[in-house]
Amino acid sequence: MTPSFQRTHTCGELSDNQVGDTVTLCGWVHTRRDHGGLIFIDLWDKFGLTQVVLNPQIDKLAHQEAQALRGNFVIAVTGKVRPRPAGMVNAKLKTGAIEVYIDDMEILNKSETPPFPGWDETEISEVLRLKYRYLDLRSDVLQRNLKLRYDITRTVRNFLHGEKFIEVETPMLTKSTPEGARDYLVPSRLNPEKFYALPQSPQLFKQILMISGMDRYFQIVKCFRDEDLRNDRQPEFTQIDMELSFIDEPALFKLVEGMIAAIYKESLGITIETPFAILKYQEALDRFGSDKPDMRFDLELIDLSEVVAGTDFKVFDQALKNGGQVKALNVKKSTDVLSRKILDDLTEVAKTYGAKGMAWIKVNTNGLQSPIIKFFKPEMLDALIAKVGGEVGDTIVFAADKPKIVADSLANVRLAIAKLMNLIDPKKICLTWITEFPLVEYDETEKRYTAMHHPFTSPLAEDLDKFESDPAGMRARAYDLVLNGNEIGGGSIRIHQSDVQQKMFGLLGIDEKEAHEKFGFLLDALQYGAPPHGGIAFGLDRIAMLLAGADSIRDVIAFPKTQKASCLMTQAPSDIDPKQLKELKLKFDLS
RNA sequence: GGGGUCGUAGUUCAGUUGGUUAGAACGCCGGCCUGUCACGCCGGAGGUCGCGAGUUCGAGUCUCGUCGACCCCGCCA
């Protein structure tokens, strides 16, 4: 009487077509409705739900056994597919037209009562969800998200295969490199006192592969960075990494646009517009205060530095005298929305990014309203209002400080206002290339230049002679791809000449000895016929998060870590056996 | 390293100005029920109020510390 465990169908596929057939289904008890006589079971697997019916008149034994069933029990059932009685069709279920009358049933496994209701819409604390991740992964949302993530990687592999790429694996146990993020380190037992580093990205290997004549490489690969976490940052994350020989920006952009379009088409059925907009870094900063502007709405920054020059308002005057700026946002039709309380909240947003405050002017029907207008001569006020295009109903908010603080604070106030006033059409998809990043930036604490992208990024040809004269003014052949205000990828055309690479190290204060210790293999390789090459890497987790409409990349990762980088399911990281430490010749120093 | 929010039954939450025996819904357990699909009806069990200290006649409630989760700054492409 034991039913075959070999199921004939999944729980998501039976319909009118199988009426009369005898089928075997396997799955979990989703819900049980025991009527004393009839028992209804909704049987679940990842493909769907099927209602099975236990009727004592059809099989007394099966019906009796079914009384012991509880939620999450794993069962196999065999029975006949029948159409549901008139009026009993469940339109909410894919399989709602039929039900299966069971004449044989086996409990394959029992289950404890789960710590939280599965398959439910109740929001469960993330602590529990992460501890019992295997249960949470049964939920519709996570099932859907992981499927979407797979749709993306499948599409990428197909697409790049069609573009003559090959996927090549690169080492996980590799060399620690200076610059960039903090490394995750792995001690070497065979080489005491020496360490491997887990890769922050396969950067150097993919460049070497170009020198090897691989021509087009890609890899969907884990990367590791030991930095603090955010909702879009995990210590281990996945890159869609690629590198191409004999490539320039227009050709690479076209290829990537095709790939992103394929991803949208295959995973969401959405056709997106190509080519994407291109915005130079400086313009992005000037207009939006950010190198990853959300361009689904306007509300651009307006530079008022010239208009307010010579003002009696000390805050503005001081900022300008210290080499700063005064910039503003003109929030149209907002005087009723932006109450005093909300303006205070927005000021707090600005302060988070270093602003000391946030001035504002409201254009009311009966004139201007603001704590600061008394410091301005009427002509200057008129010029200011004219410059921002102020009309009745507008609120103008100001930032005055060093350019970076002005940009950061206004960029984030801009986003907060967009959210507050529903300026963003959620259906809109804005993909934008940001180009011509600065090659280097000056690190005030370390008193030296650091690479903005990484040390292997080529400068623009026209800036090549500025290594000595104006390093801060050099622009890089680097680019980011921004989706609705989120950086989803970035890359560059690389340096392929060893003399330029040496100059770059020189600028970064990496002397020849250190350069050879850290990157000697690359410098050597560059001398053996390195083709011009470039590439890009995408954050798969972020792309999946955005396409899934999730709030965090944790929701598109099967087993994510908490903000303290621990795994609540496995309890990693954990203590280790002293024997292991001894083998590695490691000792703690907790002083 | 810093700022913020949160932590009460298995779960989601309520709990007044500090005052008797800490409640609800769902879930769980038992009983009844042959057309339910969030089945229904009756009954029952279930609490270290995250942990520790303090203030107080009295603390879920106030204070301090601590642990954990989340969001953010710094950090990080």
Separation between Cα atoms, residue A350 and residue A413, nearest integer Å: 6
Closest residue (CA) to C1' of nucleotide B31 is A36
Which residues in window 43-82 of A are less than 7 A from strand B by Cβ?
51, 53, 55-57, 70-71
A112 touches strand B (CB under 7 A): no
In sequence order, which residues have a C-beta less than 8 Å from that of residue A176 and are 6 or more positions away?
A183, A185, A195, A196, A197
Give the CA-to-C1' distance from A563 to B58 in angstroms.
40
CB-hemisphere CA count at 13 Å for A175?
A: 12
A36 touches strand B (CB under 7 A): yes
CB-hemisphere CA count at 13 Å for A145?
A: 26
Q: How many helices (H) and strands (E) does chain A have?
A: 15, 22
- A289 neighbors A301 (Cβ within 8 angstroms): yes
H helix runs in A139-195, sequence order? 140-162
In the prediction, which pLDDT does A1 show?
44
Q: Answer whether residue A66 shows pLDDT above 70.
A: yes
User: Among the listed ranges A307-316, A408-417, A504-513, which one has the minimum average pLDDT value?
Assistant: A504-513
A570 touches strand B (CB under 7 A): no
Please, which pLDDT band fits residue A407 given cuts at 50, 70 and 90?
Answer: very high
Q: Answer whether residue A240 shows pLDDT above 70.
A: yes
- Nearest Cα neighbor of A309 from A370, A403, A405, A400 is A400
Separation between Cα atoms, residue A407 and residue A99, nearest integer Å: 61
Quick: pLDDT tens for A470-522. 999 999 999 999 999 999 999 999 999 988 998 999 999 888 888 888 888 99
- What 3-state DSSP class applies to A506? helix
Residues shown for chain A: 591
- Nearest Cα neighbor of A219 from A238, A236, A240 is A240
Residue at token pair 């227009």: A250
**pTM for this prediction:** 0.95
Separation between Cα atoms, residue A454 and residue A178, nearest integer Å: 10
A573 touches strand B (CB under 7 A): no
User: Among the listed ranges A235-239, A433-437, A494-498, A529-533, which one has the minimum average pLDDT value?
Assistant: A494-498
In the prediction, which pLDDT does A277 show?
97
In the prediction, which pLDDT does A123 show?
85
Give the CA-to-C1' distance from A355 to B55 in angstroms.
40
Q: Looking at domain A142-279+431-580, which CATH architecture does it have?
A: 2-Layer Sandwich (3.30)
The nucleotide closest to A115 (CA, C1' atoms): B10
A85 touches strand B (CB under 7 A): yes
Q: Answer whether residue A2 shows pLDDT above 60.
A: no
Give the CA-to-C1' distance from A117 to B19 in angstroms.
37
- A435 neighbors A419 (Cβ within 8 angstroms): no
A116 touches strand B (CB under 7 A): yes
User: Among the listed ranges A22-31, A35-44, A512-521, which one has the minimum average pLDDT value?
Assistant: A512-521
Closest residue (CA) to C1' of nucleotide B35 is A88
In the prediction, which pLDDT does A447 show?
82
A185 touches strand B (CB under 7 A): no
Sheet holding A301-303, edge to edge: A301-303, A325-331, A395-401, A360-364, A367-369
Q: Answer whether residue A166 shows pLDDT above 60.
A: yes
Give the CA-to-C1' distance from A85 to B29 in angstroms.
33
Separation between Cα atoms, residue A209 and residue A205, nearest integer Å: 6
Class of domain A297-420: alpha beta
State CA A178 to chain mean position distance. Answer: 25
Give the torsion through C-alpha atoms of A330, A333, A335, A336, to 10 deg. Answer: -150
Give the CA-to-C1' distance from A80 to B45 in angstroms.
40
Where in chain A are the domains?
Answer: 16-109, 142-279+431-580, 297-420
* A16-109 maps to CATH 2.40.50.140: yes
The nucleotide closest to A87 (CA, C1' atoms): B35
Same fold, A142-279+431-580 and A297-420: no
Quick: pLDDT tens for A208-217. 999 999 999 9
Exposed, middle or buried by CB within 10 Å (0-12, 13-18, 19+), for A588? exposed
Nucleotides in B strand less than 7 A from protein CB = 1, 10-13, 26-29, 32-40, 68-77
- A200 neighbors A172 (Cβ within 8 angstroms): no
CA distances from A1 to A5, A6, A62, A78, A99 (A): 12, 14, 10, 11, 22
In the prediction, which pLDDT does A511 show?
87
CA angle A334, A338, A344 (to 5 degrees): 150
DSSP A211-254: HTT--EEEEEEEEE--S--BTTB-SEEEEEEEEEES--HHHHHH
- Nearest Cα neighbor of A149 from A484, A537, A428, A547 is A547
Q: Are strands A395-401 and A360-364 parallel, antiparallel or unpaired?
A: antiparallel
Rounded to two decimals, the ipTM of the complex is: 0.93
Closest residue (CA) to C1' of nucleotide B3 is A352
Give the CA-to-C1' distance from A24 to B68 in angstroms.
45
Which residues in window 215-274 of A are less than 7 A from strand B by Cβ?
225, 227-233
Which residues in window 268-307 of A are less than 7 A from strand B by Cβ?
291
